[in-house]
Amino acid sequence: MKSVSIKTLLALSLLTVLSVPLMAATVANPYKVLTETELEAQQVQIELFWQKQVSQGSFAGVGNVPLHYAYVIPANAKATIVLLNGRTESVLKYQEMYFELARQGYAVFSYDHRGQGLSARLNEDPHLGHVEEFQHYVQDVALFMAKFSKQMPGPKLLMAHSMGGAIGSAYLAKAPTEFVAAAMSAPMHAPNVEVLFSAKDGCYLAAAVRWSCSDCYAGFASQPYNPGPFVGNIYTHSEIRYRRFREQYQQQPKIQLGGPSWQWLSQACAIADEMPQIAANIKTPVLILQAGDDSAVAPAPQDEFCQAIGRYCVGGKVLHVAGARHEFFIEADQYRLPAMTAVLDFYQQQLALLQTEQANPSL
């Protein structure tokens, strides 16, 4: 397909995504994804689905670090969604998402990043969020795809959240034709260092301190896993989804993770500095969901990234959801349903464009 045709088709077909009513009195749910009420009633069904239909195991990441994976392939899957989760997360946190996407006819493949979830830790302190090099995360994606790509039915779609968004962005720049489309939820195109320090000094401090204490907790004090109450949390407005997530972490202590190390923070800042160069090499359509009340990652770099990838950013701007907190995929219905609808619309449209291109290669 010629570039002009792609640009025109993207502009026309993706206009719908950016016109989704985000704060309507009755939130539309055309894909019938689970509401909070339905989630409460279907917890047992989701658990049975996870136990009986999801395959799990481990594969070797960079340096032979064991990484835990989980995938499901429903009958007659139309495409595969590769899910890259965020810092502190695990595939176990995404059971609702696997269940919903499988019902939509998608195969889902994911794994836990090195140093977190059910994957091997990189430090004696199992609660320390640590990585030696950010590129190890990116290289792990390449190894994951090399191992499982042949098992993935249909075209490949990327779904990435938070830190997974930074990893996914870097991978897209290295493998521009691997995915048909990529949807990013509150991507960490830059960490919000104001959580620990001032925005100006945080990255400079991390770069300096990591030389003397790279595997110490950033902030000079130990920050082991702390579940915290629902009231006052910065992640979601949904009490049931927050409770489910915390219960999973309580039942599986191995997936608990605390604060980041100085080395992790330094590497997160370093990859943020590389985003302009990364953006210049992206040739995959990207939908960026931006949370209006996000204190976990910095929002402005998401806008900058969108502008940097030009026509490959859906509609030329991020999809800003006013009032939403960082965790779109465990948010309250009024935020999660429009976000999920936008993502699924986007995937459907990109798959349709691909089918049209394959049927009419001269376009």
- HEC readout, 128-168: CECCCCHHHHHHHHHHHHHHHHHHCCCCEEEEEECHHHHHH
Mean pLDDT of 106-125: 98
Please report, as a single letter, which amino acid is at residue 114: R
* pLDDT tops 50 at residue 17: no
Which of 188, 208, 150 lies closest to 278 in space, CA to CA? 188
| Contact criterion met (CB below 8 Å) for 83 and 117 | no
Give the torsion through C-alpha atoms of 107, 112, 117, 119, to 10 deg.
120
The helix (run of H) or strand (run of E) holding residue 284 is none
Please report, as a single letter, which amino acid is at residue 191: P
Give the torsion through C-alpha atoms of 34, 38, 39, 40, to 10 deg.
170
| Structure confidence at residue 2 as a pLDDT band (50, 70, 90) | very low
| Contact criterion met (CB below 8 Å) for 85 and 91 | yes
Considering the chain, what percentage of its residues have pLDDT values greater than 70?
90
Mean pLDDT of 92-106: 98
245-266 pLDDT, tens digit per residue, is 999 999 999 999 999 999 999 9
- Written as six digits, the tokens of 66 are 């064991």
pTM: 0.92
- Written as six digits, the tokens of 63 are 């340096």
Residues in the chain: 363
The helix (run of H) or strand (run of E) holding residue 94 is none
**What is the distance between the alpha carbons of residues 136 and 158, in angstroms, rounded to a whole number?**
19
For 66, the 3-state DSSP assignment is: strand
Total domains in the chain come to: 1
Domain of 284: which CATH number?
3.40.50.1820
Across all residues in the chain, what is the average pLDDT?
A: 91
For 56, the 3-state DSSP assignment is: strand
pLDDT for position 229 = 96
CA separation, residue 66 to residues 23, 69, 201, 215, 353 (Å): 43, 10, 35, 20, 37
| Contact criterion met (CB below 8 Å) for 264 and 130 | yes
CA 170 to chain centre: 13
- Written as six digits, the tokens of 68 are 């835990």
| Structure confidence at residue 3 as a pLDDT band (50, 70, 90) | very low
* pLDDT tops 50 at residue 16: no
Query: What range defines the domain where residue 238 resides?
Result: 3-359
For 240, the 3-state DSSP assignment is: helix
Beta bridge partners of 181: 157
The helix (run of H) or strand (run of E) holding residue 321 is strand 319-321
Which are the contacts of 25, defined by CB distance < 8 A and separation ≥ 6? Answer: none
312-344 pLDDT, tens digit per residue, is 999 899 999 999 999 999 999 999 999 999 999
**What is the distance between the alpha carbons of residues 63 and 305, in angstroms, rounded to a whole number?**
31
Give backbone dihedrals phi and psi of 321, rounded to 5 degrees, phi first: -110, 100
Strand 106-111 vs strand 79-84: parallel, antiparallel, or unpaired?
Answer: parallel
Q: Which residue has the higher pLDDT, 232 or 219?
A: 232
170-193 pLDDT, tens digit per residue, is 999 999 999 999 999 999 999 887
**What is the distance between the alpha carbons of residues 102 and 300, in angstroms, rounded to a whole number?**
33
| Contact criterion met (CB below 8 Å) for 91 and 69 | yes
